[in-house]
Structure 1
Amino acid sequence: MSYPDLYMVINGERVATGQRRTHAVLNPATGAVIGQLPLADAADLDRALAVAAEGFAIWRKSSAQQRAAVLSGAAALLVQRQDEIARNAVLEEGKTLPEAKIEVMMAAGLFSFYAGEVTRLYGRTLVRPEGMRSTVTYEPVGPVAAFAPWNFPIGNPGRKLGAPVAAGCSVIMKPAEEAPASALAVLQALLDAGLPPQVAQIVFGVPDEVSRHLLASPVIRKLSFTGSTVVGKHLAKLAAENCIRTTMELGGHGPVLVFADADIERVLDVAVPHKYRNTGQVCVSPTRFIVEGSVFERFRAGFVARAAALRVGDGMDPASQVGPMANPRRPDAIDALIHEAVADGASLDLGGSRIGNQGFFYAPSVLSNIPTASRIMNEEPFGPIALINSYADEAAMIAEANRLPYGLAAYAWTQDAARQKRLARELEAGMVGINTVAIGGADSPFGGVKWSGHGAEDGPEGLHACLVTKAVHEG
């Protein structure tokens, strides 16, 4: 299948390879090179910064109605272009075509939500003595440096572009070099809907070079990052040098508490496909299954049976339920974690190996009875692996859920209403799903606590993350 030519976008211009360094984009289903992506040099980044400063001066003066029109127009274009955008996402990231189509709608839905939310940026007037007037208003923070990962190549750029555009900011986004065409399509929808070309830029490059260059500039006023905790901590230190505001959506290690009073068959029917969606390469993926002892064996057997029935294949194949991993690094990383756990004494109940000799396919895998000290129980695996352990009671299960420094998403299944309230209060996570895995939405804040980051994307909170508060007192 054809794959589009690749470029950067600076001031509306498509910046091609020329004499620049390039990055080879691979099809995860075959391992074949499908495109060459130009990488920015220092001059490109300086130009993007200058344009972003100009774009902020323009866009901060835009009306809410103007921003809403651009966002709603871009949402409509994403829906119209859904098939093409989704197809390119499958070619460069590997997920199944139905998942990619859902992701297009996720970005469109977020743009539509922000189109409405920009008209609700209310300030307030404070009560003061006669002759005094005091107001609180919200203003755009300024040019935003946004870094998006490869696992949701359409949805993540939608988040990184949507909030700054809605707030009246300009933005320089560096998407993942592994999946560039999807991000370019999201920006193109905004430009085609009337966004001034100075307002949003896309650059690609060596990640550390780009981040150091952008964050050292006085032009940048905010950093928005989605990715690993290790990289997030590094970027936060760079941002601190210029007191740049940050929104950090970092790693997770999603605990799933399954109590004996839950409808076990329903839990399995919902949790297994959710575990392996996008081949487990999801920051909120349910990963550590913390199962009450009396139902452990039943749960494990049912989980293994359902996972074994999943069909792994090219994401373009309508029969595929699980695609390849996104890049050649991921199968090796997950393989090392699994076999290290087995050496530690864990039971390998399913999978634990690559599939075939073409592409980056890895079998859906299940480990159980894993020692707590094993690396896979403490580091986010980010792959098609479920970890299932037995625990004695509610106290032990909550303690395990909260044991790690991560706190992005947590899940629990129980019919006990009082326990549901306790879990909602005691689980240390930015997002909690009780008897559901549906924890995201355009109107709902998305973010974590502890090492999983701070701040939120989506919802009113995501928009306010790109605003600053100003108090004005008039005598």
Structure 2
Amino acid sequence: MSIANSLKQKGLLIEKAYLCGTWFDCDDKINVINPATEEIIGTVPNTPSDKVLEAIKDSVSAQEHFKFSSPEARSHLLKKWYEAMMQHSREFAELITLENGKTIKESLAEIEYAAAYLKWYAEEAIKDRMYSIPSNNYFQTRVVDYVPVGVTAAVTPWNFPLAMITRKAGAAIAAGCSMLIKPSELTPFTALLMCKLALDSGMPSNLIQVITGDAKRIAEIFHGAYAIRKISFTGSTRIGKAIMKGCSDSLQRVAMELGGNAPLIINSDADPDVMINMVLNGKFRNNGQSCTAVNRILVHESRYEKTVNHIYEKVSRLKVGDGFDENSDLGTVITEDSLNRLIRLIDITVRQGAKLMLGGKRFGNKGYFLEPTIFTEVTNTMEIVKGEIFGPIITIQKFSSEEEAIAMANDTDYGLAAYICGVNPERNKRMAERLNFGMIGINDTRISDAKIPFGGTKNSGFGREGGREGIYEYLEPKYYGIA
């Protein structure tokens, strides 16, 4: 029996949306494709617009009740949800690998990463955020409290189909908000299982709803609905800007976690073992399909040749294959369109004068696999350096001074993550302070977990997810003056 059929028999591969307190289906379907085999895994409903509007009304009703729930009750819900997810970690991982194409090892790691947000926000929910202000001539008592922002919506991507939801939904529930979730139509099954386990663990009906279907149409309904007071989006900068424009008419609060173009600066004193781990973890996690992925490797000229050879040696050994093969290091890219876009980018980069050192071709005849690719002799004028790659492609450049490295690293419209490799702590600190990015990793690229405020600047968006800051995205300050 196939993995997909096994999950269906267990009731864990769900082919219905969840809205208005019930599992919903319709005749208009969207196929979900396994990127490793190009076969259909299953279908989900393309939820019609009138049902989306009904779901929004139900979220308003759920919000009116839930906003008066106690912090302890919210914390309990999140803890039970966390426990249910961890109990089904293997099934979640299988779903993610089926519909996303990443290796099963990475899918299992995502479950822990995603569930950690629920555990984190279970603790954040019970913190007292009320504070007092000294009295004045009019009021003897003055207090500021934080209250739920209201009905919220999340539009989430396919690259981390579970974690990108839990770090939004966890914060919303902790704050006392209902949430409408629009998962990527490429990876909806992970979100639907997440919803089932939330309900099974005691989540009130309609507190979260998962609406499958056409992303553009549903997002437009979200930002056209005044009842939704906050929209959180993770995805491309282009789509984020469109959503933000749409939200302006209703003055909805927005949080935007958008694209990245992360540099990795390898200083003259970098430890070779630390450096190669940063390259492998920073570039090839999820096959380079991460907004924090290393796009540009900047190497000090004194160690350029040695570093290039070291990277080539390690990357050339990476095994590309089906994510369910325990020996695979790299799975697929997400779609055939993504694969073709990357191949076109490789061709453009060669024509622009870069040296193709490794890879550059489709791997195999079936599935959306791409060989890990290395470019040298790259300049900052090339297209590949200016945009987000979102694939297993490395570019390597040379610098001669600290000032030049900083200028090269900052020469981008993005500002999400940047990395530094080097032994000298004073230089590392000095460089980090001059890098125009929201998150800096020094001697490691694994910068994200539930306890840090994830987010960036410039075209990488604004708002923070996780950390002490994350819950405030779903709260508003409310002032009380008592005479």
TM-score (norm 2): 0.96
Q: Percent identity?
A: 34
Q: CA deviation at 1:129?
A: 4.2
Matches of 1:405 and 1:450 in 2, distance apart? 6
TM-score (norm 1): 0.98
Residue equivalent to 2:294:
286
Are 2:386 and 1:390 equivalent residues in the alignment? no
Supply the AA of the counterpart residue of 1:274. G
Residue equivalent to 2:15:
6
Supply the AA of the counterpart residue of 1:365. T
Give the one of 58, 66, 69 matched to 1:62.
69
Matches of 1:297 and 1:241 in 2, distance apart? 54
Give the one of 187, 191, 194 matched to 2:202.
194
Are 2:142 and 1:143 equivalent residues in the alignment? no
Supply the AA of the counterpart residue of 2:24. V
Are 2:170 and 1:162 equivalent residues in the alignment? yes
Contact 1:147–1:174 (Cα < 8 Å) also in 2: yes
Deviation readout 1:61-95 (Å, 9 max, x if unpaired): 11101100010001111110000111011000001
Give the one of 428, 431, 436 matched to 1:423.
431
Matches of 2:99 and 2:196 in 1, distance apart? 18
* Gapped regions of structure 1 (runs ≥ 5): none
Residue equivalent to 1:432:
440
SS at match of 1:289: strand
Deviation readout 1:394-426 (Å, 9 max, x if unpaired): 101000111101000000011112212212211
SS at match of 1:119: coil
Are 2:453 and 1:458 equivalent residues in the alignment? no
Matches of 2:211 and 2:128 in 1, distance apart? 30
Q: CA deviation at 1:369?
A: 1.2
Are 2:93 and 1:123 equivalent residues in the alignment? no
Deviation readout 1:147-171 (Å, 9 max, x if unpaired): 0000001111112211111110011
Give the one of 334, 338, 344 matched to 1:326.
334
Contact 2:63–2:207 (Cα < 8 Å) also in 1: yes
Residue equivalent to 2:80:
73
Deviation readout 1:258-314 (Å, 9 max, x if unpaired): 001111232113322431121110110011001111111111111111111001100
SS at match of 1:65: helix
Supply the AA of the counterpart residue of 2:140. M
SS at match of 2:228: coil
Residue correspondence of structure 1 range 50-449 to structure 2 within 5 A: 50-129=57-136, 132-449=140-457
Matches of 1:128 and 1:285 in 2, distance apart? 50
Residue equivalent to 1:31:
38
Q: CA deviation at 1:430?
A: 0.7
Contact 1:344–1:371 (Cα < 8 Å) also in 2: no
Contact 2:281–2:445 (Cα < 8 Å) also in 1: no
| Aligned pairs, number | 473
Moved more, 399-408 or 180-189: 180-189
Deviation readout 1:3-25 (Å, 9 max, x if unpaired): 22411101331112x32x22111
Supply the AA of the counterpart residue of 1:82. S
SS at match of 1:415: coil
Moved over 6 A (4+): none
SS at match of 2:118: helix
Matches of 1:274 and 1:376 in 2, distance apart? 17
Supply the AA of the counterpart residue of 2:45. P
Q: CA deviation at 1:218?
A: 1.2
Deviation readout 1:451-473 (Å, 9 max, x if unpaired): 00001011121111000111111
Matches of 2:252 and 2:128 in 1, distance apart? 22
SS at match of 1:472: strand
Contact 2:274–2:421 (Cα < 8 Å) also in 1: no
Supply the AA of the counterpart residue of 1:203. I
Q: CA deviation at 1:382?
A: 0.3
Contact 1:410–1:429 (Cα < 8 Å) also in 2: yes
Deviation readout 1:94-116 (Å, 9 max, x if unpaired): 01111111111112111011001
SS at match of 2:170: helix
Contact 1:147–1:160 (Cα < 8 Å) also in 2: no
* Gapped regions of structure 2 (runs ≥ 5): 5-12
Matches of 1:426 and 1:266 in 2, distance apart? 22
Residue equivalent to 1:15:
24
Matches of 1:206 and 1:226 in 2, distance apart? 16
Matches of 1:277 and 1:108 in 2, distance apart? 19
Contact 1:163–1:463 (Cα < 8 Å) also in 2: yes
Matches of 2:18 and 2:472 in 1, distance apart? 26
Contact 1:161–1:187 (Cα < 8 Å) also in 2: no
Q: CA deviation at 1:145?
A: 1.3
Moved more, 302-311 or 265-274: 265-274
SS at match of 2:397: strand
Deviation readout 1:225-244 (Å, 9 max, x if unpaired): 00000011111100111110
SS at match of 1:428: coil
